[in-house]
Structure 1
Amino acid sequence: MTGRLTRDDVGCWVLKSSRLPEPGWAPGTAVELTRCVRPSYRLGLMAPGDPVLLWCSGRVDPGVHATGTVTAGVQDSADGPVVGVRWALLPAPVPREALLADPVARDAEVLRMPAGSNPSWLSPAQWAVVRALSPTAART
């Protein structure tokens, strides 16, 4: 992928965090939160109903920890733009190593540029890999 993204390029949005956003969050339990996003043209591509996943970075269990749906378009807040998301915690994370081992997923932006800003994205084919690796993710 070169140049600017289009909605057709995006299978799901990726929002990154260094930790889970809710202490004591139980697998399968849904939470609605807002997440900070960096101002860019990508925010104009995000829309309610879009699939989204939570990527937790760091040394312990990096990978996909939750999947969900964008619930509200980008809004301004005192801390900058935010987007509303309804998340469901996966029973087990999809490990970073599993995505690196997959010939389609290993080129994902979140793996190539882990320090990149929110939102990141997966292509439709990369999103299909995540759903194949986590049957629970397929239902969100």
Structure 2
Amino acid sequence: MARGAPLTARPRLGVADIGAWLFTCNPREFGELDAVDGFCARPSYRVGLVRPGQPAVLWVSGPEGAAPAPGIWMVGRTTGAVRDGDGRRPRVGLALRALAEPVARAELRADPRTARMEVLRAPQMGNPSVVTPAELAAIAELVDDWP
């Protein structure tokens, strides 16, 4: 970018842009969870877009070869409840359950329908990330039993 060139602001998301919310979990914190009832989020306008019943996924991060393997490990819905989490970050209510087989990051990267997912382009971004409606449709095909 040329010096002094104006920065172009990214357009804000609207509810129609959201296929699902994606919450990233550190693999050390993941453990042997069977279900998740909420997750802390970065305070931003995105938290204000959370509505009850929106699809949501839990993404376990990490390097290639990590255990658990990076990818989507849980699916479900938002409950719509957003409350004070730890005094600094809001906690978004979720009803997520573990998948029988996770959807691996490598599989999502290899699929042209999901290769541009926000979590793949900006893996260090704070929660929540967004899955577009088209990406969600592709993921739903890969998940045996979407709730």
TM-score by length of 1: 0.87
Which of 13, 19, 22 in structure 2 is aligned with 1:14?
Answer: 22
- Amino acid aligned to 1:98: E
- Amino acid aligned to 2:101: A
Change beyond 3 A, Cα 1:47–1:131: same
Identity %, equivalent residues: 37
Q: Is residue 33 of structure 2 the alignment partner of residue 33 of structure 1?
A: no
Kindly report which structure 2 residues correspond to 1:1-140, keeping only aligned pairs within 5 A, or say none: 3-19=11-27, 23-26=31-34, 31-59=35-63, 60=66, 61-77=69-85, 78-136=87-145, 139-140=146-147
The two structures, once aligned, show a CA RMSD in angstroms of 1.7
Paired residues in the alignment total 133
Q: Distance in 2 between matches of 1:3 and 1:110?
A: 18
Give 3-state SS (helix, strand or coil) of 1:107's partner. coil
What is aligned with 2:6? none
Q: Distance in 2 between matches of 1:22 and 1:96?
A: 16
Q: Distance in 2 between matches of 1:25 and 1:43?
A: 24
User: Structure 1 regions of 5+ residues with no counterpart?
Assistant: none
Moved over 4 A (4+): 20-23
Q: Distance in 2 between matches of 1:22 and 1:16?
A: 10
Larger radius of gyration between Structure 1 and Structure 2: 2
Could you list the per-position Cα deviations for residues 95-136 of structure 1 after superposition, in whole angstroms to 9, with x for gaps in the alignment?
111111111211110000011000001111101111111222
Change beyond 3 A, Cα 1:12–1:6: same
Q: Kindly state the Cα deviation for residue 47 of structure 1 after the two structures are TM-superposed.
A: 1.0
Kindly indicate whether the alpha-carbon contact (under 8 Å) linking 2:30 and 2:60 is maintained by their aligned counterparts in 1: no
